[in-house]
Structure 1
């Protein structure tokens, strides 16, 4: 009888320990990341993914405890190839895989259609780079961005053109994407209001490689500047071909062109580009040099553009987890509006739409192919 009681006690003790270990076992929490990892924008997409991966690795190394449980983060990286249709397929895949939040997508054209899927699934989405105003005007409680919008970036670029470059006439070209078209339209609106004459507005596409027909027409119009709404993969060759055709006009562009890669893509024509960035450049961030050194050491290459933004986006998601004391997607959504996070990119807090309360637009030029800071405009 005594042996039976002892055996029962030991069994109960083991059961209690087993239950305790199960209750406090490590849990793996997936955070999604989506960007173009193939195609013409792969260099920008990989830069974004690297930033997010660096944050995940750091957090895991330090140790993360949420609600009394040790949490290991796992980055679920996906490729949308910069294609809107692929973006929705990837978004649905991440929703089915029960990620707790998503960092991405990079472009406006992919972020906007994907946002509906994340909203339906109740998953926070933080884009590090989508600037089209429509992205946060859909009424979704899950949609955030950590950059300024084209409604801020376009006017900042137009104001600089009018007041600092003394531009009187401009030709506008966009790549027909949600990003390029949106930015070009916002620029054009402000340019006209400032008295700049828009001599033409042409459309190309985000796969184009030959711009000579459009540029020959623009050469005949003889504008002071050309505003190009698009990414560096096409904007670089656009600027290069403009120079080859002897156009004297400055090339004005947004953040899609404002990369460290543009010199290789545009050659000597890079020095004719003035571009805006929908946030601070890494060279203007208080901890930018420290971040760049860590990034270079880990990945063996310099920051291209938005790695600091994806890095902070991961930390912002973890900050929401900590405040909610939960890794539940719905509770992360509920915690996001109260975000007040100080990170590499600066202070991040959001308005009711999910936009930054204190956005910054930076202006850059290129000298001997090197990206050079001009000015910062607080929004």
Structure 2
């Protein structure tokens, strides 16, 4: 229950702060008795605040601000501030390689920062991790709410994940399901539910898109679906009519677009429908979570009927479950007059909860914060406080989260409508 009386609100805020500290495993009597106003530490938000992903990034930042207010901006004895970094450029309209690299250098140079929440895109994270990992005061902890490329935490492509951690000490964690599950689930859904037999698979030539496409294609073959193409689309193209005419010539009964909506996804979807017909017709369109949460995609008439996979749960499912997520969404609506652009806002808060649990147990240094996650038993957030509504634990050996959810949604009436949860192995 939300309280409007000031003294009740202060009591609730103090109680939540104590619960977070206790959940982090360090709430001794002495710690709880410390007054607020201790040393201030900064958590950086490294997100694309320009381009098609800006709505989602703003939602993540806004939700993080609200959560921090709710707990009194404290983690153990430390006062916490958030600092925004934009890793996108206006020219590119999405995350940018050089900007990601520069941001990583800036994180290391900002001596009051102890951890990074982000990046949103796996490709950006791969550029940043070696710099953060070699921080003389670290490694510096990074926790992502949306990175799904498997190679960040487990063997995938050559040299992964070791090449991201040159010191030999990991410093990266995430709170979301990875691509090998998402790509495989999308292929299973195409074969079992949509009953397709011949699917064109296209990617945006980036780390994320290639990874999901590979996982989809491998599972599709196991499901008896013929993969017709595994080429890339050019994000700078003005039209994809010829591309889809070539797909049409193969008699495809399915199209899987593996990549991010930022990479000219709107034009791609419009041309798919123009050449191959509506997504509710003979050639359904399936996209991964690189298209999830984009308001432009949701408003696009050509997107109607498209199927999406998302490596987590949607806002409606998290709200229906009640608990911490439902409370935060109520506060978000009260402050901003609407719901967040996507469920990534809640996953962003979940990543922040992991960071704050580590901070609360630490000595306040970068190395100390990182060590709480990757040494010993690691950190956890109990279900009563976790945005995911379940006990959330980070594996100290890999940085992966124990909670694995996956949803299939469909664009219906301009909204990402939950269709079903997909079982994971």
Q: Report TM bin, short chain.
A: 0.7 to 0.9
Q: Do the aligned residues in 2 keep the contact of 1:260 with 1:370 (CA within 8 Å)?
A: no
How large is the RMSD of aligned CA atoms in angstroms?
Answer: 2.1
Q: Structure 2: how far apart are the matches of 1:150 and 1:177?
A: 13
Partners of 1:63 and 1:48 lie apart in 2 by: 17
The farther-off stretch of 227-236 and 100-109 is: 227-236
Distance in 2 between residues matched to 1:230 and 1:265, nearest whole Å: 19
Q: 2:371 aligns with which of 320, 323, 334?
A: 334
Equivalent residue, structure 2, for 1:240 = 270
- State the TM-score, normalizing by the size of structure 2: 0.77
Alignment correspondent of 1:101:
115
Match of 1:120 in 2: 134
- The structure 2 residue matched to 1:309, chosen from 335, 344, 347, is 347
1:183 aligns with 2:212: yes
From the superposition, tell whether residues 215 and 95 of structure 1 become closer, same or farther in structure 2 (CA, over 3 Å): same
Aligned equivalents of 2:418 and 2:298: distance in 1? 19
Distance, in Å, in 1 between the alignment partners of 2:219 and 2:140 is 35
Does the residue aligned with 1:373 lie in a helix, a strand or coil?
strand
The answer for the alignment partner of 2:51 in structure 1 is: 39
Unaligned runs of 5+ in 1: 1-22
Aligned counterparts of 2:75 and 2:141: Cα–Cα separation in 1 = 20
Separation in 1, partners of 2:181, 2:298:
28
Correspondences of 1:107-256 after superposition (within 5 Å): 107-121=121-135, 122-137=139-154, 138-139=161-162, 140=165, 141-233=170-262, 234-247=264-277, 248-256=282-290
Is the CA contact 1:236–1:265 (under 8 Å) kept in the aligned structure 2? no
213 and 44 in structure 1: CA distance in 2 versus 1, 3 angstrom threshold = farther
Over 3 Å counting, the alpha-carbon distance change for 1:345 and 1:76 in structure 2 is same
Deviation at 1:209, TM superposition (A): 4.7
Work out whether residues 261 and 294 of structure 2, in 8 Å CA contact, stay in contact via their aligned partners in 1: no
- After superposition, what is the alpha-carbon deviation per residue over 1:91-124, rounded to whole angstroms, capped at 9, x for unaligned? 1101110210110000111011111112112111
Q: Matches of 2:63 and 2:75 in 1, distance apart?
A: 22
Who is 1:90 aligned against?
Answer: 103
Return the index of the structure with the highest Cα Rg. Answer: 1
Q: 1:64 aligns with which of 60, 74, 84?
A: 74
Match of residue 11 from structure 1? none
- Which residue is equivalent to 2:315? 282
C-alpha distance in 2, partners of 1:312/1:225? Answer: 35
Q: What is aligned with 1:16?
A: none
Mark the CA change 1:321 to 1:275 in structure 2 (over 3 Å): closer, same or farther.
Answer: same
Give 1 or 2: higher helix fraction.
1
What is the TM-score with the length of structure 1 in the denominator?
A: 0.86
Name the one with the larger strand percent.
Answer: 1
Higher deviation after alignment, 137-146 or 23-32: 23-32
Q: How far did 1:220 drift?
A: 1.8
Give the count of matched residue pairs.
Answer: 350
Aligned match of 1:20: none
After TM superposition, give the deviation of residue 302 of structure 1 in Å: 2.5
Give yes or no for contact 1:132–1:178 (8 Å, CA) kept in 2. yes
